[in-house]
Structure 1
Amino acid sequence: MNSRVTMGLAGLLLVGAVFFGYWGLVLSRQPEPTPVSAPPTTASVVQQTATTAEDQTRQPVVVLVHDVPPFVPLVASDLALEKLRTAPAGSLSAISQAVGRTPWRPLNAGTWLNEQSFATGGALARMIHSDERALAVAVDEVIGAAGQLSPGDYVDVLLFLRQDAANPQQSAQIAVPAMRILAVGDQLGLTNDGQPATPTLSNDERLKQDQRRINARTVVLAVPEQLLSRMMLATQVGVLRLAVRSSEEQRLAQYWAGNEDAIDHLDAANSSLFQFTQLALGSAARSPAAQGAAPRPAVEVIRGNQVTQQTP
């Protein structure tokens, strides 16, 4: 019995010795020193302050994160908010302003959004004003100034009338002055908000487009609505030439609209609007044979797009 008690006490002492030995080992360990961060340098403080100040001066702009098709409402995953040093005029500044709205044309990734992004109409409709019409004119290397026309140029539309039975004397005149070129072939200019009407092209695509522009056979002009019929008549009765005007004429953009001289220009163009056969009649009236004859009233006869003057 004594031997069992002795063995129990020995085991208990052994367990206690192990426990207190482990506890002493834990207490004897030194705590790891806390790493002390180096004090910030003056350069880092200045850089952090400048970054914070610059971030506060930047303005948020809503952009597309990927290409979006037309006629599909935008969702939040289509949009991102970027901070730019200078925000484009009219750009949206909050994603909530674009969510749920439907673009009417395809938009590319990276495009910043404004109200024009959701405006209806194609590229040409967004390149003209409410008092203008886009009219295509057939051209060749001679009519189109040797293929050197570019969107944004201003041209005078010249009309040449050949001598024939209905027109005894050939003549030339300026049919409509200061027409803005909207497109040459498939190359378009800028929209009314100053943005390219077509997406940004790579260098290879731009070279191919320039080659097609040189060989283009159509030019689209912005014609004032009041002179549209005059321009259409000129394209049908004679040969056209497009005479390029100098870029130094800084007021050409306001020639037909935008200032007080526009009305005078329209009145001057309409006052010179006459039937083209009257040029020949005027020359005949000044001939010696006509000077001795008594004037007779002339009757204007219209057959389709041809106008003739007949004296009974």
Structure 2
Amino acid sequence: MNSRVTMVLAGLLLVGAVIAGYWGLSLSQPPQVTEVVVAEPEEPAPAEPLLDLSALPLVGEDEPERVPVVVLAKAVPAMATISAEDLLVEELRVAPPGSFAESQALVGRVVWRDLPAGTVLNESSFETGGPLARMIRPEERALAIQVDEVISGGGHIQPGDYVDVLLFLRDDDRNSDRTVQVVIPALRILTVGSAMGADRSGEPLMPPVAEDEKDSRANRRVEAPRTAVLAIPEALLTRFMLASEVGKLRLAVRSIDEKLLAGYQAGDKQPDKVEELNRQLFQFEKLALRQARQPQPGLAPQRPAGIPVYHGSAVARQYP
């Protein structure tokens, strides 16, 4: 046999032996298990509910109705005549009491006090008179009395409070009975010292105090007010003055729970109450008249002037 053929056969057998050995080795090992991770299916996101257009209100269906209100477009000084450029009509949900809806009727009218921009105009903007005149009704009068810390409830009464006026009568030569009586109940306090209350509609008459002015007031020495102004029915005015002359007055503050100020601003006048008080105060009038007729103790009665009689240069007086 040719040696070359023998070498080729030997090479082929060697290659076959290597292949057979590798194949046997691979078959002898256990098969590798490949872990397969199965992804869980994601839950579908909840579908957004469809917008119910029928539940939505139509444009302007539930919107509150607005009303025109005339306000000042700029500040107006006192004694100035209103022009069309000074006025502005605003649409508000609620019209303030006494406001105007049209501006034509206000052109040409004269304001009697300084009004800032944005002021809602009403009839009080064109009324004359001071603040006290705007705080009372036509059947009332504003009367000031002298007070101290004892008379004015320890100095704690404020404008807008209601008080009962008490009269204390001492027993002396002119009055044999020592009594304490209520002269007039439920009188409204208008001012205490320089502090002022509100007008008939409830609008404050005192302007807001600036911060720098508050600091300056805090550094000042606080003095007790010496006067208080009360709103007195006209029918009881003279009787109240007579009562204040025959004795000493005290002010008893009434509870805020009685809602007397709210009733006053709502228009409660109570004419029957005034007539009843007018009948009860007759005794003070008689007492004041009796004291006026009696001579003051310690004073000699005044003699009449007499009639002068002339005898030449001498003058003599004759008394009847």
TM-score normalised to structure 1 length? 0.64
Q: 1:66 to 1:125 in 2, by over 3 A?
A: same
Match of 1:302 among 292, 306, 310: 292
Structure showing greater radius of gyration is 2
- The aligned runs of 1:149-160 (5 Å cut-off) are 149-160=157-168
Match of 1:80 in 2: 88
Following superposition, the deviation at residue 243 of structure 1 comes to 0.2
Deviates more, 1:91-100 or 1:218-227: 91-100
Q: State the identity as a percent.
A: 45
Q: 1:171 to 1:234 in 2, by over 3 A?
A: same
Partner deviation per Cα, 1:21-42 (whole Å, 9 max, x = no partner): xxxxxxxxxxxxxxxxxxxxxx
Match of 1:247 among 245, 248, 256: 256
Match of 2:73 in 1: 65
- 1:273 aligned onto 2:282: yes
CA distance in 2, matches of 1:93, 1:278: 56
Following superposition, the deviation at residue 264 of structure 1 comes to 4.5
Partner deviation per Cα, 1:59-92 (whole Å, 9 max, x = no partner): 2222123332222211223222222222212211
Q: Which runs of 4+ in 1 moved over 6 A?
A: 211-214
Following superposition, the deviation at residue 132 of structure 1 comes to 0.6
Match of 2:235 among 210, 226, 241: 226
CA distance in 2, matches of 1:107, 1:79: 12
- 1:126 aligned onto 2:146: no
Following superposition, the deviation at residue 300 of structure 1 comes to 4.7
CA distance in 2, matches of 1:129, 1:87: 24
Partner deviation per Cα, 1:145-187 (whole Å, 9 max, x = no partner): 1121111111110111233332344322111111111111222
Asked whether the equivalents of residues 60 and 81 of structure 1 are also in contact (C-alpha less than 8 Å), the reply is yes
Gaps of 5+ in 1: 1-45, 280-298, 307-312
CA distance in 2, matches of 1:132, 1:217: 23
Match of 1:114 in 2: 122
Question: SS where residue 267 of structure 1 aligns?
Answer: helix
Match of 2:272 in 1: 263
TM-score normalised to structure 2 length? 0.63
CA distance in 2, matches of 1:221, 1:60: 38
Question: SS where residue 194 of structure 1 aligns?
Answer: coil
More helix by share: 1
Match of 1:215 among 214, 217, 224: 224
- 1:89 aligned onto 2:89: no
CA distance in 2, matches of 1:269, 1:145: 26
Asked whether the equivalents of residues 165 and 183 of structure 2 are also in contact (C-alpha less than 8 Å), the reply is yes
